[in-house]
Structure 1
Amino acid sequence: MPEATRQAWAGSPPDWALDLFPAGLVASAHPSNPGARVWSLVGDRIGARISEQFKAGAGEYHTRYAASAHFQELFRQALAGTGIAVAEAPLIFDMGSGSGVNSIVPCFSLFPGARQVASDLSADLLLMLADYAVNTGLSERVICVVMDAMSARVATGRFDLVTGASILHHLVRPALGLRAAARALKPGGHAIFFEPFDGYGLIRLAYERILAEADLRKAPLEPAVEAVLRAMIDDIAARTEPDPRQPGFASLDDKWLFSREHITTAVRDCGFSEIRFVSHNDHATLYRDVALVQLRLGTGRDDLVLPGWATEILDGFDRALPRPVKGLLMLEGSVVLTKGA
């Protein structure tokens, strides 16, 4: 690295990261843990702050974000379901890392020799990750960089693996994320993304059937339950084949429910030679279980239940679709891409 660029660095980044950001980086430290550093790109003015939704649960960090085992299993499923071989000590570029629990932490468990670049628009979230890294002895193996992961500010063709745990469906143009992944990867490298899919259309149909049945029975649902079902119907409808040109689309958080065809078309010109999908769930009570989760998340309550006849409607959808079909009409899944040699 030229001396003029080296002087742009403040502090001591890991040696392996020095040439990954040709423009240089500037560090800021955690207010209560000076050893926990977050870096920003020289010349960047990204100022995204922690979301209000995340702030609401920040005090529960160790419990609310103790889900790394779940995401570790999703990575295992993606690896086993596709048979891809990842370097023993991979260099990983993670897109939209947040606090790292969904991607950085699982990858350290799966690839003990890994070195990782964690990227996010929020310095607040990356400070949590940097603090975690210091406290767990991982700070020499992960560098936290406040950046737009879709930009071309990271070195090209250097990474063995690109990861993104629920990032593409937040983007106005998901193809930009796919191109950024291809740009960062070495030839033969892989990318793994976890995303929602348009199989949620079946959940929408089930909820519409439940609401119609409630009217026929003259048996109103509990208001909180009905509100969640109607909100999910509207959300699923808005995210199924949405028009990005519509006013307000860019301001939505969750924007897309992908189809396999959409992703396949988007990667066509990105330099990937192979695309594979791995469904996350296809078990016997999938639709009933999803409804219960959405009731809990939508209300924050654990005591809400559907009437027996409504549960039977969901069970009817589950009985009608065998596991292989549920896998094809997936709700959530991994997208596994391989860059051409």
Structure 2
Amino acid sequence: MSDDHTHVQEFFGARAADWDRRFPDDGPAYAAAVAGLGLRTGDRVLDAGCGTGRALPPLRAAVGASGVVLGADLTPEMLREAVRAGRDRDATLLLTDVSALPLRSGSLDAVFAAGLIAHLPHPADGLRELARVVRPGGVLALFHPIGRAALAARQGRSTTPDDLRAEPRLRPLLAASGWRMTSYVDEDSRFLALAVREG
């Protein structure tokens, strides 16, 4: 495992136990973002970097009992918290690097990724791998429950143009990775970029 991966695991491993308690009001924002994916009954969807699995119940509700919901995360402690919260009832949990998924090419209809892009050591590679596992015309949602400026303020910094989630950076990054951005929202209450898998 690379140093980058070890760092990510250590960061989230240390924070897993109280993660949901630190951000108790994010549930409705997750549900609204999942609605933006336009999932249908029977669809196959991955929550990439699922953490404690807050998106898994709304994803399951969107695809129904006949759909497939997968949650992938690199950090064992996060997945343990997902199980403790009962969210393994809504999804199959995978302990894996989202940049090397154990999934067939084109096997998914959609990917949901909350807060993922900032933690990818090589964002283009990660986005290309997500594109690999999604069928042409499938959808990607890059989400965060607060916008870029609010997140920067929470972290005691200001937004910069080189932020990966800034639209002028994100649009070409997605395009180079097999995705076409279809919408971009960055407001205090949420960040949500939607993209479609090119054919």
**TM-score, L = length of structure 2:** 0.77
Structure-2 separation of matches of 1:152 and 1:118: 11
Q: Which of the numbers 60, 64, 75 marks the counterpart of 2:34? A: 75
Unpaired runs of 5+ residues, structure 1, are 1-45, 80-84, 205-227, 243-255, 282-289, 291-330
Alignment of 1:1-341 (within 5 A): 48=9, 50-55=12-17, 57=18, 61=20, 64-65=23-24, 67-76=26-35, 78-79=36-37, 85-101=38-54, 103-113=55-65, 114-133=67-86, 139=89, 142-195=91-144, 200=149, 232=156, 235-236=157-158, 240-242=160-162, 256=163, 258-272=165-179, 274-279=180-185, 281=187, 332-341=190-199
Kindly provide the amino acid, as one letter, of the partner of residue 180 in structure 1: E
Cα 1:52–1:185 shift into 2, 3 Å: same
Q: How many residue pairs were aligned?
A: 190
Deviations 1:132-168 (A, max 9, x none): 34xx7x63x5211111111143221100111101111
Cα 1:112–1:67 shift into 2, 3 Å: farther
Deviations 1:207-244 (A, max 9, x none): xxxxxxxxxxxxxxxxxxxxx89x62xx225xx245xx
Structure-1 separation of matches of 2:197 and 2:23: 35
% same residue = 16
Deviations 1:290-336 (A, max 9, x none): 6xxxxxxxxxxxxxxxxxxxxxxxxxxxxxxxxxxxxxxxx842111
Q: Could you say which residue in structure 2 is the equivalent of 1:320? A: none
Kindly provide the amino acid, as one letter, of the partner of residue 69 in structure 1: P
Kindly provide the amino acid, as one letter, of the partner of residue 267 in structure 1: L
After the TM superposition, which segments of 4 or more aligned residues of structure 1 sit over 4 Å from their partners?
61-66, 195-198
Secondary structure at the residue paired with 1:335? strand
Structure-1 separation of matches of 2:57 and 2:21: 13
Kindly provide the amino acid, as one letter, of the partner of residue 269 in structure 1: A
Secondary structure at the residue paired with 1:89? coil
Kindly provide the amino acid, as one letter, of the partner of residue 106 in structure 2: G
Secondary structure at the residue paired with 1:117? strand
Q: Which has more radius of gyration? A: 1
**TM-score, L = length of structure 1:** 0.48
Structure-1 separation of matches of 2:58 and 2:46: 14
Contact map agreement 1:91 1:161 (CA 8 A) in 2: yes
Question: By how many angstroms is 1:96 displaced?
Answer: 0.5
